[in-house]
Structure 1
Amino acid sequence: MSDDQKKSALADYLRRRQSSDDENPACPVWPDPDPEGRERRERRWSRRSKAARERRHLPDLAELILYMSFFGNDLAADVQTWAERVYPLIPEDDREDHTALRHHLTILTVSASLDDLRDTAEAFRRAGKLKRINKAVAALRLDYYSACLGDRHAPWRIAGEAISRAYDLQTPQDQALDYATAAVGWLIHAGRYEPLSADRLAGRRSRPRMDFRGDTSDFGLEVLARMLDERERRIYRRVETYFKTRTEPNRDGASPTGDAEEAGGEEPRPEDPGAVVFRSVGNVETSQRVAREFAELLNTRLRLAHKPDLAVLQKTLTDEFPQAAEIISAILSELVPLDIVRLRPILLVGEPGAGKTRFAERLCDTLALPHETYSCGGVSDAALGGTARRWMSAEPSLPVSLIRQFRHASPGIILDEIEKVGTSRHNGNPLDALLPMLEPLSATHWHDPYLQAHVDLSHVVWIATANELRSLPGPLRDRFRVFHFPEPGPEHLLPLAGRLMQDIVQERGLDPRWAIPLDGEELSALQAAWPGGSVRILRRLVERLLLARDRWKAEEEVQ
């Protein structure tokens, strides 16, 4: 492969950065996450801004912070019109704070000085709760007027409000950038340019009263432009370093991926089992962030779990789940001819409370598999299969996320209550996304939409639980080994109660040695109350028994 081919993405990036043709600007690196919403907001802004200049619309506080024109393009007219509209909203009673508000608003409807605006803002802050107007927003609007007239303290409040709105996750990205611009501009004005706001303003006859607002917009845009330029330069350097480390040999002539493996410290030794899951990241140009996230994992052998001692494992699981002895033998028999842990997808079907999820988690624990339980109840989209990077909420598929998190090629994924998954296909269906991951052939080169490249998911261990099979589609059932997980019977009471008691004691933070075995009277009480069935019910009974034991011990100590 030639150097030009190896660094094609970097070359394209350089061409975009070096292009200076204003008529043919470089394409954006990141696609717009909400183009329709952006266009809708721009049209609405254009209409309302024109109406504000023509005295048909009084801008609200958010629009003023984003530099919409004042009412009639005149600050004084904006103040007077706003005061006239707010005055009827103040209750006409004899309360002192309401009387003060009406008095200050009356002054603003005639002529507003800087002192009048400050006094009215303080009157709103001191007033009690007003049902028809938000007093905090009203006080901030008056602070905004004061900042535009050269007040020395109001810009700090406006900057804080703009920062809060920019940080709000409900704010669209385009508006968040405008709020950040306003915040930076007002902060600069309040700090470095504060002496201009009062003393030197009087000596500038030609300076219009609205220049403070215009200055803050220029300040914010200038600073953010410098910051974004520096950010692009850093991204360029990281992309350059990435391609350099992936394509150029080191001084010893070894591949750079070998250095990454040594730096990680978690890759398997040459004699240990391992597998390469990630071999490339597609379309690096659209997101250098994705390339950075997976740079250390590309062409790197990730660990696989050794096959444990099956006899010891079978005894451990059978002691904990005596009712599932046949299922345990059937699952572990698949590992006999292998050196690593590799299981076909498993589906455990049984009554609620039979212990299916607990068994799946313990199976992964004893096999030394890092795992995660994914509750399928109420899930109605294909997020399990990942989200394309063009969306703001983009993320890799669930197995890719776990492989990256654990740096392990065969994590366990427990799909709890898979029959309760949503059936709508409006945003994709999780079961449809799951099908190719369960098929051995397609799993070896499954395409992740976030990476935009093929990954090897053939070593992932899938375990699903369900209360019934009727709602599951046939193609999905065919990909699982279905085991009907039995409920425990009264003959299993002794081992189950002992294990539950140990779990409860450990959850309380006590030494496991405090789990004193049940005596004959306690066992008789449990047998009378639990004829078999749900392990959840048995757990509650054991908890009550331990509570009664603690009370009896406390009463004995008192006597």
Structure 2
Amino acid sequence: MTTLTEEEAARLRERHPIHELMSCGPAALEERARTLRDEQAHGRTRLLIDSVINAAAADLAHLVDMPLAELLESADETLKWTMLAYLASIRYRPAQLELSARCAAEAYLMVVLHDTARGRTLEKPGDIRLVNRAVNDAEWMVGHAVGWGALANGVISENRLGTLGLTEHPKELGLEVVAALWSAVDSHAREIGYQEGYAAGYGLTRLHGAEARKGTDRTGTSERPQAASKVVVVPHAQLSREMRKESGVGDIIGAALPLVPARGLAEARKDLLAGHPHAAAAIEQMLGDLAEGHPVRIRPVLLVGPPGAGKSRLCRDALDALGIPFAPVDAGTTMDHGLTGAPRRWRDAYPSTPLRLFAQHDVANPGIVLDELEKAGHSSAGSIHDPLLSLLEPLSSRSWRDHFLDAEIDASHLVWLCTANSTSGIPAPLLNRLRVLRVPLPSAAHVPALADRIRLDILGERSLDPGMEPPLDAEELETLTAAFGQEGSLRNLRRYVEAVLDARASLARRN
């Protein structure tokens, strides 16, 4: 067992300003630039910053070049890259090229830092997290490097969401490029490439590409389905016959599992909007990723809203409506091994949450509902945030290591729905991997629809036939709305509905 030296740990902790800047949008970058401007002691520097910002805002690129060149001659790293990141976000091509090159360099440096610990068995959880963070940051920087480089050259993305400019999400689209390249290469060709060098792997890749193009017509339109219906999620694993049977995961090793397709989207949308009318915007954005008959694939979502807004219930109802089996995970009480599984060398070994879902439901795209993400704790066992960084990244999740199997599995098709009362406490790299959707508290106008759904829930819990119980009448709904007020918690509304049903039952007993 070894530890990192102080010098190695320091190098792994340090990060170039570009890492933090890449999680900011144009408005935040402009605000940072203006804040740095106010902190400058030299009037000439403040003047140059103002000139650059004003010319860029007016879309006068030719007036940016000279003051920017003079500014960068004396600017420190933070000011330099803040200005370049802001200019890149508003389509200044030279800055986009600079960002692409800097991110590519950072990806390389992160890999080099990771290699300092290769082959060692680290005993400190903090050391392990630093090494893992280096790999995650490298993947993040690769996405930005490709995305900004593509944007600088006027590329657009044709994907399942249609035609998208790279301006809004260069990192996500950059990772799509990288992931598409890897998925287009036959796995055997990759293995040969690793073993014998780039030339051999490249040759096999070209052969595989020629085979793939046999199913394409002259216009370039593929005759194959747009998405595979089955996926091998556990290609290889060394397990004894006894362990295969005992663990329950033996049957899925090497087996192609189906991807649950989206069916009846119109009806699912209707039911969800009826049950969660106050969350209409979030529902539309979640379902906007889906296409009828195609495998269910939703970009990782974080629902943010006050307690009692019904975020967890919405996640469960959405997955139920789509026919996706799922596992609930409480982030506040789950450490990293709760997701990653426990190695077989431990007495109480168990598979990771994704692996258990694959084995239990025999589908490649089950869901995970991760509640209260902002309350995730830290201990010697690690934080749930650590494995999430790689599980939520499209590229790394394709070959994610399950600790129980000690083998790589394909977790890229998992459907992640997370909840939080706020984004405070969630690390920026993790937040960057999530699409944040707001869920407000319901208002008085939503009470009739919500109260009826709650009534049916309570009757089911009490083993009562809903058909034998009349719906809430106008007087009851008026009472409930008055008690609820203009805006309130679903938990309070449930207590009010329970009181109405209890009053009904009491009156029936007296009569």
Which band: TM-score by shorter chain? 0.5 to 0.7
Q: CA deviation at 1:272?
A: 8.9
Contact 1:381 1:422 in 2 (8 A): no
Amino acid at match of 1:386: G
1:467 aligned onto 2:414 = no
Pick closer, same or farther for the CA change 1:513–1:337 going to 2, 3 Å. Answer: closer
Q: 2:295 aligns with which of 325, 336, 340?
A: 340
Contact 2:261 2:293 in 1 (8 A): no
Amino acid at match of 1:367: L
Amino acid at match of 1:552: L
Instruction: Name the residue aligned to 2:470.
Output: 516
Contact 1:350 1:486 in 2 (8 A): yes
Amino acid at match of 2:450: L
Amino acid at match of 2:349: A
1:314 aligned onto 2:269 = yes
Q: What does the per-residue CA deviation read over 1:283-327, in whole Å, with 9 as the maximum and x for residues that have no partner?
A: x47x95148743321221112111112221111100000011111
Instruction: Name the residue aligned to 1:373.
Output: 328
Please list every run of 5 or more consecutive structure 1 residues that lacks an aligned counterpart in the other structure. Answer: 1-270
Distance 2:431 2:301 in 1: 10
Listed as ranges, the matches of 1:420-439 within 5 Å are: 420-424=375-379, 426-439=380-393
Q: CA deviation at 1:423?
A: 2.2
Amino acid at match of 2:257: L
Pick closer, same or farther for the CA change 1:552–1:337 going to 2, 3 Å. Answer: closer
SS, match of residue 437 in structure 2: strand
Q: CA deviation at 1:356?
A: 0.5
Instruction: Name the residue aligned to 1:248.
Output: none
Amino acid at match of 2:417: I
Q: 1:497 aligns with which of 440, 446, 451?
A: 451
Amino acid at match of 2:459: V
Contact 2:262 2:292 in 1 (8 A): no
Amino acid at match of 1:273: S
Instruction: Name the residue aligned to 2:399.
Output: 445
Q: What does the per-residue CA deviation read over 1:443-502, in whole Å, with 9 as the maximum and x for residues that have no partner?
A: 111111111111111111011111111110001101111101111100001000111101
Contact 1:385 1:434 in 2 (8 A): no
Instruction: Name the residue aligned to 2:230.
Output: 274
Contact 2:341 2:402 in 1 (8 A): yes
Listed as ranges, the matches of 1:503-542 within 5 Å are: 503-531=457-485, 532-542=487-497
Listed as ranges, the matches of 1:40-119 within 5 Å are: none
Q: 1:359 aligns with which of 314, 333, 347?
A: 314
Listed as ranges, the matches of 1:144-293 within 5 Å are: 273-282=229-238, 284=239, 289-290=243-244, 293=248
Q: 1:419 aligns with which of 351, 363, 374?
A: 374
Q: What does the per-residue CA deviation read over 1:392-425, in whole Å, with 9 as the maximum and x for residues that have no partner?
A: 111111111111111111111001111111123x
Q: What does the per-residue CA deviation read over 1:303-352, in whole Å, with 9 as the maximum and x for residues that have no partner?
A: 21111122211111000000111111111111138711011111011111
Instruction: Name the residue aligned to 2:250.
Output: 295
Q: What does the per-residue CA deviation read over 1:71-121, in whole Å, with 9 as the maximum and x for residues that have no partner?
A: xxxxxxxxxxxxxxxxxxxxxxxxxxxxxxxxxxxxxxxxxxxxxxxxxxx
Greater Rg by CA:
1
SS, match of residue 408 in structure 2: strand
Q: What does the per-residue CA deviation read over 1:7-65, in whole Å, with 9 as the maximum and x for residues that have no partner?
A: xxxxxxxxxxxxxxxxxxxxxxxxxxxxxxxxxxxxxxxxxxxxxxxxxxxxxxxxxxx
SS, match of residue 382 in structure 1: helix
- When normalised by structure 1's length, the TM-score is 0.49
Contact 2:336 2:385 in 1 (8 A): no
SS, match of residue 290 in structure 2: coil
Question: In the comparison of the two structures, how many residue pairs are matched?
Answer: 283
SS, match of residue 494 in structure 1: helix
1:487 aligned onto 2:441 = yes
Distance 1:356 1:295 in 2: 35
1:410 aligned onto 2:365 = yes
Distance 1:465 1:517 in 2: 31
Amino acid at match of 1:508: R
Distance 1:554 1:526 in 2: 22
Distance 2:429 2:468 in 1: 49
Contact 1:385 1:430 in 2 (8 A): no
Contact 2:264 2:292 in 1 (8 A): no
Structure 1 stretches of at least 4 aligned residues deviating more than 6 Å after TM superposition? none
Amino acid at match of 2:494: R
1:553 aligned onto 2:495 = no
Please list every run of 5 or more consecutive structure 2 residues that lacks an aligned counterpart in the other structure. Answer: 1-226
Pick closer, same or farther for the CA change 1:545–1:363 going to 2, 3 Å. Answer: same
Amino acid at match of 1:487: L
SS, match of residue 249 in structure 2: helix
Contact 2:304 2:420 in 1 (8 A): yes
Report which stretch shifted further, 296-305 or 483-492.
Answer: 296-305
Instruction: Name the residue aligned to 2:8.
Output: none
Q: 2:346 aligns with which of 377, 380, 391?
A: 391
Contact 1:290 1:451 in 2 (8 A): no
Amino acid at match of 2:338: A
Q: What does the per-residue CA deviation read over 1:337-390, in whole Å, with 9 as the maximum and x for residues that have no partner?
A: 871101111101111111000000000100100111111223344331111111
SS, match of residue 414 in structure 1: strand
Pick closer, same or farther for the CA change 1:515–1:351 going to 2, 3 Å. Answer: farther
Pick closer, same or farther for the CA change 1:339–1:381 going to 2, 3 Å. Answer: closer
Pick closer, same or farther for the CA change 1:380–1:306 going to 2, 3 Å. Answer: closer
Amino acid at match of 1:281: A
Aligned-pair identity (%):
41
Pick closer, same or farther for the CA change 1:436–1:338 going to 2, 3 Å. Answer: farther
Distance 2:483 2:328 in 1: 31
Distance 1:295 1:399 in 2: 14
SS, match of residue 395 in structure 2: helix
